[in-house]
Amino acid sequence: MVGLQNLDLPIGVRIPVSQPTFMNEWFETQVRVRYAETDQMGIVHHSNYLVWFEFARSEYCRARGFSYKEMEEKDNALMVVAEAYCRYKSPAYYEDVLTIRTKIPEIRSRSIRFIYEIYRPSDQILLAEGETLHLVTDENKKVRSLPAIYKEKLLQEIDDQNTFPENEAPH
């Protein structure tokens, strides 16, 4: 993570930093705080942390080889937020580059739990931590089992960041 705080990213650019390797390791994604995400004092509004959790969760899934859109359209499986929790520890400010760490501590037949940490690499301050619980439903909002293909992708090891499944382009 050396030098990440010195990246000269356009405001609002979100870039994945690394890919997860095991279920018990963190996946990291970066964001730069945009002006619209702050109040008049330049402090990030609390609602943005849940938006960043969602962004990091989507990037986590993409790093595992699938997207929410694919789950919904191809397999009629929607991940509905059933619970959300965020504990705020220290403020973030306009123009801060932040790292959102995401991992999955639990996958059950019909639900997935994600946990998150948001910190500022420039001073190593933990800003917030939280979790979300998602129920898998069909398009009619009826709870259903998580399709096996997604459970397998979430549990698989990723050996090389640049390796894609055989005969398959990245999403």
Among all residues, which ones are annotated catalytic? 39
**Contact, 159 vs 19, CB < 8 A?**
no
Residues in the chain: 171
Please report the sign of the dihedral spanned by the C-alpha atoms of residue 68, residue 69, residue 74, residue 79. Answer: positive
Spatial distance between the Cα atoms of 101 and 27, rounded to a whole number of angstroms:
6
Residue 49 neighbours by CB distance under 10 Å? 24
